[in-house]
Structure 1
Amino acid sequence: MSKFPSDKPVLVTCGLPYANGKAHVGHLRTYIPADIFTRSLRKTGQEVTFVCGSDTHGTPIVFNAEELNTTPKELIKIYHKHFDETFKQMGVMFDAFGTTDDQTNHDRTTDIVNKLIENDYVFPKTIEIAYCPSCDRFLPDRYVKGTCPHCKEEARGDECDQGCGKHLEPGELESPTCTTCNGPAEYRKQEHFFFKLSEFKDFLIEHLENLGGTLNARNYALGWVKQELTDWCITRNLDWGVRFPGHDDLVVYVWVDAPIGYIAFTEEWAEANNESWEKFWKEDSRIVHFIGGDIIYHHCIFWPAMLKGAGYSQPWSVVASGMVKIEDKTFSKSRGYVVWVGEDYLDHGFHPDLLRYYLASYTSHTKELNFSWEVFQDKINTELVGVFGNFLYRTLLFTHKNFKEIPAGEIKQETLDEINSTIEAANEAMENYEFKKYADAAMALASYGNSYFQSNEPWKLIKEDKDACGEVVANCIQLAKALCLLFEPILPEKMEDAWKQIGMSTDVHEAGYAEATELVNAGTPLEKPSILFEKIEDEKTEQMEAIASARVKEAIAKQSGKEEKEEPKEMKELITFDDFSKLDMRIGTIVSAEEIKKSKKLLKLQVDLGEEETRQIVAGIKESHSPEELPGRQVLVLANLAPAKLCGVESNGMVLAGTDEDGKAILLQPEKGTGAGNSIM
């Protein structure tokens, strides 16, 4: 039985692109699978509404506008148009694409905040806010940086983006610094408003245990909820944003009004189509959120609690993608490890559908995806050109040359069974958000078609028994029809072309999976086919790799230049030998290593320090070392460091490390193997 019964309205949303920069491949990891999912559901006969919009509020918008000497309103116009056009170019077709600065969103946000106030879920509280005496202003979110109180990594005002990933409340950062003037900030008292998130703990546990989507979203959120839930500050000191009711000096926090945009965009769609937005947000529905893995906390904890408190329907499913790497390097715009959708892909003549296929078929949706030009070339040439494209072209060219039309012939039950079993497998994969499994199932049917064509040798049959040859060809075209329908969600533009080439006069985007086994019409004239997928030559791949390499070198040069201009670091205070002798430094042997799921940087190590003493030590080396490679390695350990908790895990010591030119950890180790526990002199 389908998870999406036809009597339940389905709404699909995507995490909102932030309107202060260009679209890159990392963005598409969310939007293309969501578009594929929406198209596929429609092919089952399900009515689906697909909405999104630009996230236009918050400090980064204001920050960037100030740097560019423009206004936030003018800045968001530029990037909203950019994303709207880029999505359409990439075949991502939203039913509504608005902005969170639309009046509809201002009104809906105000309504929901007022409802939360009426229901006693919002209260005022005087708290300490970072304030820059030099700039003479309070510092919300991106205007302040400092040290995360949980994992001690560098963090920005509302999120530990470099360490444990935890949401941070105003006043939590340690050693705050103004990001505008880089001067020290101080904490001053001010009244703000809080949402009683702590009251929703029991509700959230039940909600998350029944939430559909991907396990990474549900399990990550459950881990946080089962710990302590703190009340959430929902106001900020900004002029740009949605005004907090009754307070002209405050706006609501961007993570309040951004997800409310999902409702506002649904309202705009409903008004334009004489439809109801309440059937999604006030009744029993199927709301499916596609998001990046970095915003699970907001969508699975804050958002459902807000909706519950204001009397709205809950998300039914949250689908969180894995992160994106570029050429096996951590995605980083500042370091040059980025692929821009426009200048690096579309502007070089690559067809949008090729990238859609790569993103869908490279790996499971929740796993880390690596974009590599060499792997991209190989997947396109081997699979789309060598398997699927080869089957379509050889079938249609042979048919045109020998019959000029779809020949008469019985469509074998074996052919129909193969199609039906593929559609069944594809539907199951799609309902479980397994886009790679869906793509693999469709490609397996193309492989079956190639084998069928090859084994029946129609080039011989045409000379011996034209009717028998016609039957083979008719079965191949039936398979081609099914493949067009199966691949349309992934390759919409290419399948529009292929659909016409097999003689179909209907709209492939409107055609459902059920039509795959409707028999092709003998006598339908076929034009000479064109090749759908062109091979990517080595020269083109080398050109793209050279562009990528040059970008990285330029980024390194900029960083080096910046470092050269910086003042030399001051030497730390001199210590005596007595001070040094207080350090208990020993040789340790790593016994085991495992990931700390809540952290991007930390690993939990068990380290043998000799004399049957094994210490648990948390080390920030996850980005440079995998857990599998560490057991057996000897390291230098500061053994008498006071115990500390990092991401909730106790650490009893410190593993000593340096850093390379990319800032990655380099473990310090003895010149040669020695006994665990030996002292460092």
Structure 2
Amino acid sequence: MSDSPLLVTCGLPYTNGQCHIGHLRTYVPADFYVRYLRHIGKEVVFICGSDNHGTPIVISADQSGKTPREISEIYHNHFDQTFKRMNVFFDRFGMTDDPANHQRTKIIVQSLIDNGHVYQKTISQSYCPNCKMFLPDRYVEGICPYCGAHARGDECDQGCGKHLEPGEITEPVCKVCRGKAELREQDHYFFKLGDFSEFLQEYLPTLKGTTNARNYAMGWLKEGLHDWCITRTLDWGVKFPGHDNLVVYVWVDAPIGYMAFTEEWAKENNGNWEQFWRGDQPIVHFIGQDIIYHHCVFWPAILKGAGYATPDAVVASGMVKINDKTFSKSRGYVIWTNDDYLDQGLPADYLRYYLLAYTSHTKELNFSWEIFQERINNELVDTLGNFLYRTMHFAANKLGGIPDGEADTEICKRIQQTLDAVGDEMERYEFKNAIDEMMALASYGNSYIQNNAPWKLIKEDREAAEKVILNCLQIAKACTLLFDALLPEESQKGWEMLGYTDSITKHSIAEATEGFAHNNLPKPSILFAKIEDDTRNTLDDIMKKRIEEAEMSENTDNQITEVQTDERITIDEFARVEMKVAKILSAEKIEGSKKLLKIQVTLGDEERQIVSGIAQYYTPEELAGKSVVVVTNLKKAKLFGVESDGMILAAGDNASLLIPNEDVLPGTEIL
């Protein structure tokens, strides 16, 4: 690897939702890479921050009664604390809405204008006559002009995946009032992306990192580049120079955040941000696969056009599946980093290991609790943990500490082979291969101690037994140093069990072949605890209940959609719906669900059990005794494993119950 200082960045998490393991597919590998580089003596600046601008945050702010800045700060702090809980520590974690990024964005945009890379154009844009406003990006939805699929305003997210410019979407609908939008003319500014085709043709083949990033970008380049509209009609964001009614498109100011955060780091640490962004020191971006175009095409073109240095490498991770299903928050196929993992008492090191050791960084990662349990128990517990404990336990209890002398040349040679192999894989960003090499060394240690059986040898030849254990301790030291970049909490504990009293981060991996300058060993403990079946089942149940709840909500949404399409039914069809007045006898919450209540009702001549999604609006106590209207001839269903025989009718966002105007006997039919 180069001796030059490196700047390593991570794609910015959007402050519009909580952290899930899909996010971690970017941040944990980047942290592993940075920690490893520092262990081999590299100088690294590790930068990230939160992405605070764009329409979704404005919508969330409107819905919550907060300002966009308040929403951004809430989720900014959430991600900052979550990353730290996962032992991902940045040298600077900034906000794109802070002054440094506003200032740097305006400077860069003005440079693009001055250099002739931006032009003004009058375009037709969706406008809502009811809300009396232009509809940027995700305030509008409609039909993709390319493939005909339902699409949001800036991307055909349900179909071909193409980026959509303002005004391109057909049959636009306002997402605020659900009314039809119309096209009206407005002036916007465009970046001449097509001017950079020749530059990108030379640049992309030299771009380091993962092949998926480079190849995807080359594919888009062959299709031809289109100019990008870089302004939006919003109040929230970086103001476009000279136009208070326009803000800079979020995909302009978000990557500029990398530069602004580097400036903030430099200011706080007496550093030099220009050595990266105006000089020749390497810049490495870690991103998700879904934003390759922005980082490998759009972003380098902006930097080139404004006179800044371009990235040396882009490392793009593959996507995430949950139980072999496409990752989907709305459908419940998601693992939330805090609620589903850290708050359940599971170690951050275990999840770090799974994310990096399961598959190649560029391939799709499938997460299931069953596979998670298997990998942790078989590899961390039975291989690495077992070797470290049995070695140190024997040394401390049978030998009283570390034997004198030096490890055999053969052992040091085997360790050095591992160091070299890990270095090669890390330089190629093949993190799984690097970890496989590390684990292979632990397996070698297990085989070595098992084959030489020092517990038998000590009875006949204590000196030979001591030599075997000294060799094993040398391997244990190497494993601890190597795994520190991946498992920082447990590696520090292992380091201390080897008799060291300082931080393992202060030591170079090259020390893996050096002997011990001390003999003392404290009493060892087991580093890795197994994931028991009961724990796995509990975690699996949490996810299954979320999926069931999401499916119920989706079915409800689909029913509402059918009504909204105005597909009228006949009076005969309506007559088939049987509705009666019922009195609620009791209600109770369903364990594991935030929305559902199990409700017992009487219809006069019979009692029924109904599951209703109104737990967020009513307590069980206030429901008891109420008269409600129930659909009684629906087919029975099971929700969260609980049988439901009927539907309680409610209206509006707050689930206002439909109740008789005066006392009516239970069982009375609605005519």
Could you say whether these structures have the same fold, taking a TM-score greater than 0.5 normalized by the shorter chain as the test?
yes
User: What's the counterpart of residue 527 of structure 2?
Assistant: 532
Alpha-carbon distance, 1:163 to partner: 2.3
CA contact (8 A) 1:374 1:541 kept: yes
Contact 1:9 1:279 in 2 (8 A): no
Following TM superposition, by how much is the alpha carbon of 1:561 offset from its aligned partner in structure 2, in angstroms?
2.1
CA displacement at 1:570 relative to structure 2: 5.5
What pairs with 1:183-332 in structure 2 (closer than 5 Å)? 183-332=179-328
Q: Within 2, Cα distance between the matches of 1:59 and 1:242?
A: 13
From 172, 176, 193, the counterpart of 2:172:
176
Q: What CA distance in whole angstroms lies between the structure 2 residues aligned with 1:154 and 1:498?
A: 54
Post-superposition shift, 1:401? 0.6
Equivalent residue for 1:85? 81
The residue number in structure 1 matching 2:466 is 470
User: After superposition, what is the alpha-carbon deviation per residue over 1:595-649, rounded to whole angstroms, capped at 9, x for unaligned?
Assistant: xxxxxxxxxxxxxxxxxxxxxxxxxxxxxxxxxxxxxxxxxxxxxxxxxxxxxxx
**Which deviations, in whole Å up to 9, do the C-alpha atoms of 1:404-430 show, x marking residues without a partner?**
211123311111111111111111111
Letter in 1 for 2:560: K
SS at match of 1:343: helix
- Deviation, 1:571, is 6.0
Is 1:491 matched with 2:461?
A: no
Q: 1:417 aligns with which of 413, 417, 421?
A: 413
Find out whether 1:556 has 2:545 as its counterpart. no
Secondary structure in structure 2 of the residue aligned to 1:51: strand
Equivalences for residues 56-205 of structure 1 within 5 A: 56-205=52-201
Matching residue of 1:346: 342
* 1:250-298 Cα deviation digits (max 9, x unpaired): 0000000000000000001111110100001001121110001110111
Is the contact between residue 82 and residue 338 of structure 2 (CA under 8 Å) also seen in structure 1? yes
Q: In the TM superposition, what is the alpha-carbon distance from 1:566 to its structure 2 partner?
A: 3.7
Q: How does 1:620-639 map to 2 (within 5 A)?
A: none
Cα deviation, residue 167, structure 1: 1.7
Matched position secondary structure for 1:345: helix
In the aligned structure 2, how far is the partner of 1:164 from the partner of 1:439? 36
State the distance in 1 between where 2:53 and 2:567 align. 42
Q: What is the letter of the counterpart of residue 356 of structure 2?
A: A
Q: Which amino acid aligns with 1:526?
A: L
Paired residue secondary structure (1:129)? strand
Task: Provide the rounded CA distance (Å) in 2 between the counterparts of 1:554 and 1:513.
Answer: 48
Whole-angstrom CA distance in 2 between matches of 1:277 and 1:550: 48
For 1:564 and 1:167, how far apart are their aligned partners in 2?
30
Please state how far the C-alpha of 1:148 moved relative to its aligned partner: 1.9
Cα distance in structure 2, aligned partners of 1:414 and 1:182? 73
CA–CA distance in 1 between the matches of 2:475 and 2:388?
9
Partner SS, residue 65 of structure 2: coil
Distance in 1, matches of 2:561 and 2:15, equals 31
Instruction: Say whether the 8 Å CA contact 1:109–1:260 is kept in structure 2.
Output: yes
For residues 259-658 of structure 1, what are the structure 2 equivalents within 5 Å? 259-521=255-517, 523-568=518-563, 569=565
**Does structure 2 conserve the Cα–Cα contact (< 8 Å) formed by 1:205 and 1:226?**
no
Indicate the percent of aligned positions where both proteins have the same amino acid: 59
Compute the TM-score of the two structures, normalised by the length of structure 1. 0.82
Residue 198 (structure 1) shift: 0.9
- Structure 1: any 5+ residue segments left out of the alignment? 573-681
Task: Give a deviation string over 1:437-457, Cα, whole Å, max 9, x none.
Answer: 011010000000000100111
The AA in structure 1 aligned to 2:550 is A
Query: What is the rounded CA distance, in whole Å, between the counterparts of 1:436 and 1:459 in structure 2?
Result: 34
Quote the Cα distance in structure 1 between the aligned partners of 2:110 and 2:88: 35
Contact 2:404 2:519 in 1 (8 A): no
CA displacement 1:221-243 (0-9 Å, x = unmatched): 11111222111110000000000
Residues 203-212 or 555-564, more deviating:
555-564
Q: How many residues align?
A: 567
Distance 1:347 1:9 in 2: 37
Separation of aligned partners in 2, 1:424 and 1:333: 41
Query: Displacement, 1:322?
Result: 0.6
Question: Corresponding residue for 2:5?
Answer: 9
Write the deviation string for residues 126-172 of structure 1: whole angstroms up to 9, x where unpaired. Answer: 01111111211101111111222223222211122222222221111
Give the Cα–Cα distance (whole angstroms) in 1 for the partners of residues 147 and 255 of structure 2.
28
Match of 1:18 among 14, 38, 41: 14
Q: Distance in 1 between matches of 2:400 and 2:103?
A: 60
More off after superposition, 447-456 vs 554-563: 554-563
Could you tell me how far apart the structure 2 residues matched to 1:559 and 1:161 are?
A: 18
- Which digits, 9 at most, give the CA deviation of each residue in 1:369-405, with x for residues without a partner? 0110000000000000000000000001111111221
Q: Is the 8 A contact 1:409 1:470 kept in 2?
A: no
Amino acid at match of 1:355: L
d(CA) in 2 for partners of 1:399 and 1:170? 69
SS at match of 1:509: helix
Report Cα offsets for 1:39-67 as digits up to 9, x if no partner.
Answer: 11112211011000000000011011111
In the superposition, the TM-score normalised over structure 2's length comes to 0.83
Q: 1:510 to 1:149 in 2, by over 3 A?
A: farther
